[in-house]
Amino acid sequence: MNAKILETENVTVSFDGFKALNQLNFSMDVGELRVVIGPNGAGKTTFLDVITGKVQPTVGRVLFKGKNLRSLPEHQIARLGIGRKFQTPRIYLNLTPRENLEITSNSNKNVFSTLFGRPNAAEKNSIKGLLETIGLTSKSNIPAGLLSHGEKQRLEIGMLVAQSPDLLLVDEPVAGLTDEETYNIGELLLALSQSHSILVIEHDMEFVRQIARKVTVLHEGSVLCEGSFEEVQNDSRVIEVYLGQQQN
């Protein structure tokens, strides 16, 4: 049996009695790229909130590499090796992509020592490699504010990787992107999945088809079904919940 990077056991999250997550049982293996889909309100964002410690489970446990995360504050969970990318990029617009990466890869230095101190050779090399991976080598020295929306998303994914997390959580990375930028993000996540465990939440079905290995469908706070893209796409329960949503 493969080692698990993430497990939830019977996780319920109640907001004033409303169960955003309802006895959710989920697990993914070390090294997996998993896509989680589900209609609006299915509990996808709450699922990430409960993994990162932003929200505590009302019932149940979340295990990261077998360790129970109960009661740990968000920053400690991040330090254990869980990195999260939010939907809107959170980058320093007046710094260059290179500087943005330097700042995040030096978690124990502050902004000023990063800018005015000298990165050592190993740091420089890894940042060069990361710029290549995210496709921003030619734009590494312009202000990040001049990047397109898709390039900013790639930079932020790079900043996440610079923190060397064991598990990357990525919430709707292609919302609002052009088809070409969407494709680039997909290729980037596929490249990163060679060396990271990645959990992606997404709505865009073309994108899911591009990157999907195993797909989990959430509905009303529980797992509705799991399988390959084709399997979940043809599952009558999945068709029903998505069609139900379109009629609203």
* Binding-site partner at residue 180 among ligand ADP, Mg ion, none, CB < 5 to 8 Å by type: none
The Cα–Cα gap between 217 and 224 comes to 5
The Cα–Cα gap between 225 and 86 comes to 25
Site string for Mg ion, 38-57 (x = CB under 5 A): ------xx------------
* Binding-site partner at residue 182 among Mg ion, ligand ADP, none, CB < 5 to 8 Å by type: none
Q: Identify which of residues 51 and 185 has a Cβ nearer to ligand ADP in the complex.
A: 51
Segment near Mg ion (CB under 5 A), from 6-14, 37-45, 117-125, 205-213? 37-45
Residue 127: Cβ within 10 Å count? 22
Q: Identify which of residues 30 and 175 has a Cβ nearer to Mg ion in the complex.
A: 175
Contact 204, 233 (CB under 8 A): no
* Binding-site partner at residue 163 among ligand ADP, Mg ion, none, CB < 5 to 8 Å by type: none
* Binding-site partner at residue 20 among ligand ADP, Mg ion, none, CB < 5 to 8 Å by type: ligand ADP
The Cα–Cα gap between 3 and 187 comes to 26
Q: What are phi and psi for residue 19, nearest 5 degrees?
A: -90, 100
Specify the amino acid at residue 47.
F
* Binding-site partner at residue 57 among Mg ion, ligand ADP, none, CB < 5 to 8 Å by type: none
DSSP 246: H
Write out the residues near ligand ADP by the rule CB under 6 A: 15, 18, 20, 38, 40-46
* Residue 203 Cβ vs Mg ion, minimum distance, rounded to whole Å: 9
The residues, any chain, with a CB within 8 Å of residue 122's CB and separated by 6 or more, are none
* Residue 87 Cβ vs ligand ADP, minimum distance, rounded to whole Å: 10
* Residue 172 Cβ vs ligand ADP, minimum distance, rounded to whole Å: 9
Q: What pairing do the DSSP bridges indicate for beta strands 167-171 and 33-37? A: unpaired
